[in-house]
Amino acid sequence: TNVTRVLGKKVGALTLVVGGIGVSNIMHVVVEERTKEIGLKMALGAKRRFVVGQILFETLALTAIGGVLGLGIAWTVCASFPAAAIEYVGTPVISAQVAAITTGVLGLIGFLAGFFPARTAASLNPVEALRL
């Protein structure tokens, strides 16, 4: 029904936001743990865009792995519920349009979750980073 669809969309949106917050926190920890490494790279001549690119690549890779795992779980649920003859759930399906939109939103959230820690990492003073 309509109530179920609206509730499902809200739960899905909140799941993406919470996932983005989790990825952002992970990347902040990565930057803190690798401050000396980043400082050394910058002291040896690494450009800011290299540092930003590295952190963004790691963030997007982490987000892509999570997205693929989530799609796999959704596919498993959609395949197993009709086979188990659970009638009150209905017949779940994966819509190509919704999957494409979700992939785009997930990519955007992943980019934003990694951009701010990457910018922080790229703005480190190499000398101060090596002292920490």
Please give the full DSSP string across 22-67, using - where no structure is assigned. Answer: HHHHHHHHHHHHTHHHHHHHHHTT--HHHHHHHHHHHHHHHHHHHH
How confident is the model over 65-116, as pLDDT tens digits? Answer: 988 998 899 888 888 877 776 666 667 778 888 888 888 888 898 898 889 8
117 touches 27 (CB < 8 A):
yes
Among 99, 120, 97, 125, CA closest to 29: 120
State the first-to-last Cα distance of the chain, in angstroms, to the nearest integer: 57
Name the most confidently modeled range: 14-28, 29-43, 78-92. Answer: 29-43
What single-letter amino acid sits at 12? Answer: G
Mean of all residue pLDDT scores within the chain: 85
What is the average per-residue pLDDT within 38-65? Answer: 90
The CA distance from 24 to 32, in Å, is 12
pTM: 0.77
94 touches 74 (CB < 8 A):
yes
